[in-house]
Structure 1
Amino acid sequence: MTQTNRLSKVVKATSRFPKSIRSTLWSKAFGRVVPMVGTAHVKYLEVSPARVTVKIDNHKAMQNHIGQVHACAMALIAETATGFVTGMNVPDHCIVLIKSMQVNFKRPSKGAMSATATLTEEQQKLMQTTEKGETLVSVTVTDETGEEPIQCEMLWAWVSKSHIKNK
């Protein structure tokens, strides 16, 4: 019962391209829509209404004082993946907003980082059929070792754009 919105239509339109080209197209296009994501060179690896995976390389501009991905960049990819999977599901007349973010740092990271956000079928249906709501979006952030140096909790909300304009 997946409904489509403009974002999911863009993703679907790229489905005929090879995976490596799709990833490049998504990263460039979405980096223009959200400039900070583009500046950080976040790469979109997988995009669907149920799952989004993004990656950030351990490049100089995103490093901390010990030469690893900076804490803010780790939070950025978690926020990007969860926000994007949420955005794939809300109707075009709604806007998504992060309501809260909790990031717990467990250990130093090693190398590039990836974040994978997932939604259940129930969460997708709720987003697609209600004007206003909120949900905790599951996200796993791993480094090159496959371990999770951070654990995150991202609460996303959506509301009709007309509700925002009338405030």
Structure 2
Amino acid sequence: MSETMPSIGELLSATVPMVRTLNLEYLETTAERAVVSLPDQPEYRNHVGGPHAGAMFTLAESASGAIVLAAFGDQMSRAVPLPVRAEISFLKLARGPVTATAELGRPVAEVVAELDAGQRPEFLVEVAIRRADGAETGHLSIVWTLRPND
């Protein structure tokens, strides 16, 4: 980000223990897209040799959190972002490193307008989990909210 301001990935790595535990790497973090990778680590594999379902969920949720911070970080003084509900689908066997790509389901301005109107906006973030060959191995749909500070 800058020499004085940490990037969102650096901030999340410093403040979220699970990010450090799984050695997640933030490859891209913008208000339009966040890309986070999970390296292949034997201690986080499941019974079929791929990343454990919990590690894949954490990867995808972390990508969704990164895009939420990128898109709404300027609203943090008046609202806190919180996940509301999530659904994950495991589509194919994942082996090796996997990458999660998150995208917002609504325009930022629309969500902020609801917050400005005194509402507690909710918005969807869709996350595709892919293995190195590009095949989509999982998909997370997660709804976030901006809870106004009272």
Normalising by structure 2, what TM-score? 0.84
8 Å CA contact 1:97, 1:157 repeated in 2: yes
Q: What secondary structure, in the 3-state scheme, does the structure 2 residue paired with 1:86 have?
A: helix
Residue in 2 that maps onto 1:155: 143
Q: Distance in 2 between matches of 1:154 and 1:123?
A: 16
2:60 is aligned to: 78
2:112 & 2:96 partners in 1: Cα distance? 37
Tell me which residue corresponds to 2:95: 110
Q: Distance in 1 between matches of 2:130 and 2:71?
A: 24
RMSD: 1.9
Task: Give the superposition deviation at 1:53.
Answer: 0.3
Structure 1 residue matching 2:31: 3-state secondary structure = coil
Match of 2:2 among 8, 13, 18: 13
* CA displacement 1:74-115 (0-9 Å, x = unmatched): 111111111211122220121111111111112211211101
More strand by share: 2
Q: 2:38 aligns with which of 56, 71, 74?
A: 56
**Once the two structures are aligned, what percentage of the paired residues are identical?**
25
* TM-score, normalised with respect to structure 1: 0.76
Count of aligned positions = 141
Query: Structure 1: which 5+ residue stretches go unaligned?
Result: 1-11, 15-21, 163-167
C-alpha displacement at 1:159, in angstroms?
A: 1.1
* Cα distance in structure 2, aligned partners of 1:38 and 1:123: 30
Structure 2 counterpart SS, 1:126 = helix
Question: Which ranges of structure 2 fall in alignment gaps of 5 or more residues?
Answer: none
**Structure 1 position 32, deviation (Å):** 1.7
Distance 2:111 2:92 in 1: 34
